[in-house]
Structure 1
């Protein structure tokens, strides 16, 4: 059994990846949603091994940009420490601790690339993420349908799943991530990869490949479970991501018939949700579309009574003032959570937009460079034909886009597991080239 597992792990090893690093990388990606601790240990070994087999990091201009961003962040942390008297409520240690959300992952972006250097390597990583999502689905659906609750501890407390009875917030699927929006982000970023697995299995079944039938049924069951889980997170971002991924993964060849079909499917939702629709049209649409969908999209019984200080637009207006006060090096990591209550009387951990949060914490130059780098990687991949490439490469590009869009109105990347997955996706995006290179292994 052990020999069979190792043989399986050694398969399709990219040319630049050594055997130990390749094994640890795949296992780390697989256990990532279940345990940040064990995934971190495995991926650290992979990162060290991957860094040993690379050309110098400065040969890639993207790494030079990341080094510049890192320097700006360190300067900002030092500045925040020196002006502590101007904001006594802000502990200067936060400015330095906040760097761990970014600087180690700049290294990971470079060191993980040997494992994602070709399409088969990215496909392996994508399937590991899909398989690792199974515990998320099982715990989440069990939480809402079977009343499961925790905390569940394994290996003497090394792994703890904080399952809250009835979901967190109440009635929303959260599973082992313990908060619905974080679960929604994980399910959203893995959804394109699962779609790619489904398409690949369907094509094998259509070609009557051996063993294709049972694989197709397994992946169909996983896809159905993930759609149900995404719906039960009650996250509008996740619902949008679920629809966005479908045409991107299916590829441009399907758009002629798929896009009109999606628009036709969304028409009743739009009629049921949008204001100003005549009752003659809206009432039948609301009878057809579940109230949990159009009510959530219309903010019915959810946020209509929220205080002004809780709304996104208020957070962003306050954040704009903070950026204008200290535009170059920012206020220090997590400063928003300290300053916002002082100015509004309500607490929020972050401003629900990654670009805004980066600008407040580390300054506008760092924010523009980092957000611009991600957008450049996406545009570069699209221009070089990634959306016309193999199905798992299309899904990879879609997963990065989905995760980037989620950060326009939330910041799930501050969960370590989402953060690691996001930088793995970015590393794979950087590795894309129209003509994949050779690979080693069997």
Structure 2
């Protein structure tokens, strides 16, 4: 059924919303707060003006009042260097001006440029706020008097002293429209001032390009840590669960006929889960504390490949492995990532019943080559949300500067990975590539 969108509001409706809508009222309150903040500075400016000009009552004339206001604003700009000024002003702008929180800075101004922009904002807020607040105090009573004046004059007769122009009937008839026009002009000034502040807030209170770059780098670092943890959990826990599932299923099928096989399957399940719990504790330790001292070291191709093959074979998968290099000679970083890549390849074969599996590990021309092949089996359907394993392999290979290819070839599934060895000899683990330790 086609959906019908509501018609756009007409121009008069938009104009009324701009002048008197909820956002306009909140911005008006924001301006009045600025006027209230300006009062102490105006009083300080009046004292300074009285000292230098000799005028005893600066509030007796409009020029003196404007002079006090002009002298007070620089004082306000100087006090805006207080560290809490920018956070408080940003909070007020978010709450009352309708500016997106992501466009405003949260912390205090630290650099000279930030302090300068904060001072400019504070001066603008107090300046516009003082003007609109003064108008809000003076215009409504005067406008109300103009609206009711045609009704009061006939009642009071000649007891009212009015300007000569109001002796004419047509002049009295124009007073109510003039009063209403003054109120509309006040609303327009308040709405325009609020819109101006909302437009200037991101430029004056927003983060600098350096702040945005630092925030982007922090988000990238956080994403790198999350991706690393996701890869570790997927490869270690995912492989273990696949193996345990197959072992438990095989044991259930021969529970009454082959007790010895069931005993071996249960022992394999126990060993797999115990090792996986240790790896999970290491990963969660990194998640909690950044590093987890005292936890089990990350598995590597040198020390854990034999155990991985043994557990995989115990799950019922036939694996033929040919290792044409000494894993102990590999750099620790390459050895660890190679172990996870082999583990993910075996996990895929377990999930999709692709056996037998042929694994070849060798070094050539300063690169470690991992090749894994297995027939394309009619294994279980892909689970919802799956398919992250090959992406994790690609991420690991990319971080080490290697290449990876995976896909069907001649009725078999083939995974081929090449990792540079010499480039990472003795290289420390970076934040992106470090595993649980």
TM-score for the superposition, normalised by structure 1: 0.18
Q: Which has the higher strand share?
A: 2
TM value normalised by structure 2 = 0.18
